[in-house]
Amino acid sequence: MEKPVLAVAGIGATGVVLAAALLNRDPDVLVVDPQPGLAETLARNGLRVSGEIAYQVPVKQVFSGIEELKDRRPDVVFAATKTFHLPRVLEDLEAVFHPGMKIVSTHNGLGTEDVIADKFGAESALRMSLNYGVSLKGPGQVETAFFNRPNHLGGLVPESRETGLWLSDALTAAGLDTAYVDDIKAYVWKKMIMKCTMASICAVTDRTIKDALGFPPTREIADCCFQEAMAVAKAKGYDLGADYLKEALAYLEKVGIHKDSMCFDVANQSRTEIDFLGGKVVEYGRETGVPTPCYSVMTHLVRDLEDKYL
């Protein structure tokens, strides 16, 4: 396929890495974020990624709103915002959308690709599961703690395969190893069961993942949540197998010295992504008739914390 026009909407922690990788190969990638003063900062300093992944690239084109992309007619838009901003992003994309355009959800959470499909059709939606950990150090500056290669990317319908393969190859060539997969939801479930389980536990207790798994009371909660989420995934058509939990815990042992990002959301009195994490497991459990009492409690506790400061 011909080289598409690419855009990244959302220059937070994960968006910086994605945009930097894409800009490393194509200096004409469009960057969108409404943060006041960001355009001037990026024009001066570019994007800087340090740690396990490293980039330092200039930024030529920064826009403060998605609607400003209308005349640029992007072929692919990576949505790298917080999950709770996704509905607003899709509303803004109505003014930009054209037949054949693809929207790639790179969010943490379950079902974000379905929100895109509901708005613009399944042929327009792709999903990317990111396997790196990153922290924001300043506008356009992040540090990566780990990268368990590769990332995974896929579409919801076979017609998205050509675009997905091109994007995966382009990201891999830029140093952000990405594999195209035919059933992206299976990979999302494998990662998000871990994220959905540990995020709320860590946020409520203000513990690192390692501490939460090592402290018997919170480990008991985690074990219960893992079993519930795996049952919900199976009811949704994704039986992760007998070895999944062992593999998941081994993965968490490697990254567990860090706090989950939801801890920082609560500490900063910011809105959390609980609706697409624990809340989505509870929602799917109700749809499929799978009980999720532990997930329900943890989700309600996070929402209670939010309610006290929002």
Number of domains within the chain: 2
Range of the domain at 193: 186-309
Note the pLDDT tens digit of each residue in 259-290: 899 999 999 999 999 999 999 999 999 999 99
Residue 1 falls inside a structural domain? no
Could you tell me if 154 and 129 lie in one domain? yes
Q: Cα–Cα distance between 41 and 45 in angstroms, integer?
A: 6
Residue 83 falls inside a structural domain? yes
Could you tell me if 126 and 190 lie in one domain? no
**Average of per-residue pLDDT across 50-79:** 97
Which CATH number does the domain housing residue 138 bear?
A: 3.40.50.720
Q: Cα–Cα distance between 198 and 57 in angstroms, integer?
A: 34
Note the pLDDT tens digit of each residue in 234-260: 999 999 998 999 999 988 987 778 889
Q: Cα–Cα distance between 145 and 255 in angstroms, integer?
A: 8
Question: Residue 187: which residues within 8 A CB-CB, separation 6 or more?
Answer: 129, 152, 154, 181
Domain final residue pick, 149, 182, 215 = 182
Residue 109 CA to its chain's centroid (Å)? 6
Could you tell me if 167 and 285 lie in one domain? no
Residue 81: what pLDDT? 97
SS3 per residue for 122-162: HHHEEEEECCEEEEEEECCEEEEEEECCCEEEEECCHHHHH
